[in-house]
Amino acid sequence: MVKPVFINVPYRKIEENLERILNLGIGIEIYLENNLIEEISDRDAREMGGMLVGHGIAATVHAPFMDLSPGGYDRTVRRITKEKLKRAVGLAHLLHAQGVVCHPGYDKWRFDGNEELWLEGSVDTWTEIVKEAKDGPLLMVENIFEEQPSTLIALLDVFRDQNLWFCFDSGHFNLFSTVSLDGWLGPLKDRVREMHLHDNHGGWDEHLPVGEGTFPFRELKTFLKGMDGIIFTTEVHGESRAIESIKIIKEFLS
């Protein structure tokens, strides 16, 4: 089975790169940054979605994340976060996106290791966002600064029968994880719906093509055997390496 490959593209860059996207035969993960999300009208998003469907281009959405905190203690911060995430889900509907990837916001330093405090705020936030995504795109949370999967396991367990899933990011795992790949993916295997595949050397989020850093991609490939229905997105910084990265990831998934 041919596995779908996507590449991240900022919303404003889609039209100017349309021909290249079509020639490469890939889907796109549309990045909606914090300020832009307030400028995009429903009409614009609906027209963009119609164009993508008309050209047969599959899409997902990456929600805004700068300054946001879905599990934050401050109610005002959570309210603003909810507004941004709800808008992202609304635009995803209009764009005919298959999924929406969000940052869960746990950081042991900012939360002083208090996972329960983060979980309490997170449940409040995601209860509303999950309702917003009803009958729509898959809603996914991505590992960012988490050293182990305990917070995401706890969150997804609360929403185990609802539309909240996991997006595994290989680069973030390589930077921050203190447990093995199996330690992450084993308990979350049934919740994985997307993977962001990029590489680094463990010191900085370099967003290199697959195989150019130290992430254990051979181990990941073994894990992927027999798994279907996952969206694979290559997240490489810089247009000059995009085509190379797409080729590499297609070879990796073949």
Flag whether pLDDT at 203 surpasses 90.
yes
| pLDDT value of position 2 | 57
| pLDDT value of position 254 | 85
The distance from CA 193 to its chain's CA centroid, rounded to whole angstroms, is 10
Flag whether pLDDT at 1 surpasses 60.
no
Contact present, 72 and 105 (Cβ < 8 Å):
yes
| pLDDT value of position 239 | 75
More confident residue, 243 or 196: 196
| pLDDT value of position 104 | 98
Kindly provide the b/e burial profile for residues 13-44, where b requires at least 16 CB atoms within 10 angstroms of the residue's own CB.
Answer: ebeebbeebeebebbbbbbbeeeebeebeeee
Rg value, the chain, Cα? 17
| pLDDT value of position 240 | 75
What is the arithmetic mean of pLDDT over 10-29? 95
| pLDDT value of position 226 | 78
| pLDDT value of position 44 | 98
Q: Give the tens place of pLDDT for each residue, 67-99.
A: 999 999 999 999 999 999 999 999 999 999 999
Task: Give the rounded percent of residues in the chain with a pLDDT score beyond 90.
Answer: 91
Taking all residues of the chain, what is their mean pLDDT, rounded to a whole number?
Answer: 95
| pLDDT value of position 130 | 98
Flag whether pLDDT at 135 surpasses 90.
no
Flag whether pLDDT at 238 surpasses 80.
no
What is the arithmetic mean of pLDDT over 102-106? 98
What is the arithmetic mean of pLDDT over 125-145? 96
Contact present, 71 and 147 (Cβ < 8 Å):
no
What is the arithmetic mean of pLDDT over 154-176? 97
Q: For residues 150 and 4, what is the distance between their CA atoms, to the nearest angstrom?
A: 29
Flag whether pLDDT at 175 surpasses 80.
yes
Confidence of residue 246 (pLDDT cuts 50, 70, 90): very high
What is the arithmetic mean of pLDDT over 3-24? 93
Could you give all domains of the chain from N- to C-terminal order, each with its CATH number?
5-239 (3.20.20.150)
Task: Tell me if residue 89 falls in helix, strand or coil.
Answer: helix
Q: For residues 83 and 86, what is the distance between their CA atoms, to the nearest angstrom?
A: 5
Q: Collect all residues with Cβ–Cβ distance below 8 Å to 12 and sequence separation of at least 6.
A: 36
Instruction: Provide the whole-model pTM.
Output: 0.96
Helices and strands, number each (H, E), in the chain: 9, 8
Task: Tell me if residue 141 falls in helix, strand or coil.
Answer: strand
Contact present, 141 and 152 (Cβ < 8 Å):
yes
